[in-house]
Amino acid sequence: MPLVGLEELRAAQRRIAGVAVRTPLLPAPWAEDGTRRLWLKPESLQPTGAFKIRGAYNRLAQLTAEERARGVVAQSSGNHAQAVAYAARQLGLEAVIVMPDTSPEVKVAATRSYGAEVVLVPAEERDTRPAELAARHGYVWVPPYDDPSIIAGQGTVGLEIGEDAPDELDTVLVPVSGGGLISGTAAAIKLTTPGVRVIGVEPELAADARESLHAGELRPWSVAERYRTLADGLRSPLGALNFEHLQAYVDDIVTVSEAEIRDTVAVLARRGRLVAEPSGAVATAAYLHRAGELRAGGRGRVFAAVVSGGNLDPKLLSELLEP
């Protein structure tokens, strides 16, 4: 399948206008260390609390009248679930969302609040149950990341960074899971600001994308391995089309520890005044804790980090804010 191009990215940007928020690039002066500066892209400010609304709405808005009448089914640990439910409500569609029974209750409740039917399943059935439901009921399946329309929608994050960033920006840090966000963002950055590096960030406990990129082939990790991380939004396996985008557009992937993720959630809340779920904090964690790995070829001075979402349980936030 061809890689997503600038035409598809621009079309997605027009399609989601007025539905997804054009989030600002926020300066983070508290993160400056004399040699580096940081800007934050707070996708936690989206209507559903995460970047996923971009791809979900872009995909659903292109359904035919016949497909809309059939309704949609999707699978997600929470943020794609909310995005599909929200977009379906905006477009007047029936939506069924398959979620692992380990999903945070705050994400399950939010998905239901947008009118979707939620089907909770064991984690190992999350990615197989939608196909069964689609075959049985005729739903249109809306994949969470391995889809060109999803990738193009998420890539509007990169278009906005390229349009809003200071001229001296040299590195963009993006969370990696199934790969929709980094695929689209990296494509947008490389196609509009080709001198800027794109670095993916993963938890050490769910680093299948890093291993795959370095090996030059998909290296899937088991569900049990990926579900060890606190970053529940980064537990999905890397998609095949997404891997092709990574190979074409991503400069490298670094990992961060669970302790570094926890620390960064607290830092973003206290210093950045942003509520970030663990998955949304990993890019900033790389800036704060992996400076040495991010320096290359004179670059690594002006960063933009995507804060991909802010949907976390209040009890967990309280725990992570404890000294």
Which of 41, 52, 107, 190 is the catalytic position? 52
315 as an active site residue: the answer is no
- Exposure letters 110-149 (e unless 16+ CB within 10 A, then b): bbeebebebbebebebbbebbeebbeeeebbebbbbbbbb
308 as an active site residue: the answer is yes
- Exposure letters 298-308 (e unless 16+ CB within 10 A, then b): ebbebbbbbbb
**Phi/psi of residue 157, each to 5°?**
-60, -45
Side-chain half-sphere CA neighbours of 263 within 13 A: 11
Q: Which two tokens stand for residue 40?
A: 């934050």
**Phi/psi of residue 293, each to 5°?**
-70, -20
CA atoms of 102 and 225, how far apart (whole Å): 14
Q: What are the DSSP E strand ranges found in the chain?
A: 26-27, 37-42, 72-75, 95-100, 117-121, 140-141, 171-175, 197-203, 252-256, 302-307
Active site residues: 52, 308
